[in-house]
Amino acid sequence: MKKLNHKQLAYSRSKVMQSRLGLYRNLFIALFGIIALVIIAAASSSLPINWDTIVTVLTTSGVAYASMATIGNMPEVSDKGSTMNQIDMKVWLIAREQVDPNQVFPTPNGDRELGTIPLLAGEIPHYFDAIPDTIDELGTATKGEIVTEFSGTFSFIVAGNRAKHLDFIEEYAGKGFIIIYSIGEAGTKYVLGSVYKPMVLMTSDRKGGGKEGRYITFTFQSKHWRQTMLYTGAIAVEAPVTVAANATTIAITSASQYLLSDHSAVAHIAAISGVGSSDIGRVIEVLAPAAVTNAPDIPDNAVFVLMDAGTWTANPGSRISFKIHGTATMVEVPGSRVQTA
């Protein structure tokens, strides 16, 4: 790689500074323009100028978009929320090649929640059981001379030198993955990587049985600005349960996905059954049939609480996730809805 000399670096820094100054200039012009408009409007109304009102107008006009208001206050957290070794030993891996390229990859909502990752037909996530307390997740952001460099790293250790682990090293070294893991007794799931910027299997450090034992350390890395997100989607380890044609009730089982059927007439899914207290808090996903004549739909009602978009229709390719809040209450997971025409 060609190294930059001091003149090139100085020129680059000068261009960056000019760009920043231009941004600041435009910001100040917009700011003073708004102030001038507010003052002119107040003067023409023959009313005294209320500076509190002007501040309010400026804040709500979007000029204050760069403030800490979107972050908010961050109160102190007890040691229970920051103690070490709380990641569950089960790590779910989704190879990038398993993701369906013909479906929209979910984007996180405002609460950093990510919906179900669409996989190719017949594909399921696979998990590794790591040695307890060996899992480590690290994200860094380091400011360089010009830009900030982001890096995310995830590593874990598996016991032994089992054949499938060795196959994994040989077949997937350098390939990209989406990683799902959980923290704490509540089993809150987190996700790293995406189909656009996956976590790459960078190193596999295998110990073959010498003085340090027999184990393998897998390390994944991504140079992306996106930090870890909450995973509210389904982890389907079995075929989805098929909901019978013309049924208007979904019978909830231990499965995480439910495939609707084509109806002989327009029908609304309006009820659930079979929900026990242990199901509360689970997330299930409802899938549309591959082909339909009369697509069933799920309207907003007392059982299915939908977001502002309203009724979800099971056109082919559509899907939606719900979190079970009670024995007869399902709430749409924000950002999980895929609605095809």
pLDDT of residue 282: 86
208 within some domain: yes
pLDDT by position in tens, the chain (length 341): 445 455 444 544 555 455 555 555 655 565 666 566 655 555 555 555 554 554 454 444 444 444 677 777 888 777 777 777 788 898 999 999 999 998 889 888 888 888 888 888 778 889 999 999 999 999 999 999 899 999 999 999 999 999 999 999 999 999 999 999 998 777 789 999 999 999 999 999 999 888 889 999 999 999 999 999 999 887 877 778 999 999 999 999 988 889 999 988 878 999 999 999 888 888 888 999 988 899 999 999 999 999 877 899 999 988 898 989 999 999 998 878 888 88
Query: Considering its fold, how many domains does the chain have in total?
Result: 3
Query: Containing domain of residue 154, as a range?
Result: 79-231
Residue 41 domain flag = yes
Q: Give domain status of residue 1, yes or no.
A: no
The CA-CA-CA angle for residues 280, 285, 286, to 5°, reads 120
Is residue 189, in this structure, part of any structural domain at all? yes
The answer on 180 and 148 residing in a single domain is yes
Closest listed residue to residue 258, CA positions, set 285, 297, 279? 285
Residue 263 is assigned to a structural domain of this protein: yes
Q: Is the same domain home to 217 and 246? A: no
- End position of a domain, from candidates 231, 257, 283: 231
* In-domain check, residue 2: no
Residue 318: Cβ-neighbour burial (10 angstroms; 0-12, 13-18, 19+)? buried
Residues 254 and 298 in one domain: yes
Among 169, 198, 231, identify where a domain stops. Answer: 231
Radius of gyration of the chain (CA): 26
The verdict on 284 and 189 lying in the same domain is no
Q: Is residue 236 part of a domain?
A: no
Shared domain check, 137 and 56: no
- Distance separating alpha carbons of residues 187 and 235, to the nearest angstrom: 13
182 contacts 88 by C-beta, under 8 angstroms: yes
| Same domain flag for 138 and 218 | yes
Residues 57 and 94 grouped into a single domain: no
Do 105 and 212 belong together in one domain?
yes
CB 199 within 8 A of CB 179: yes
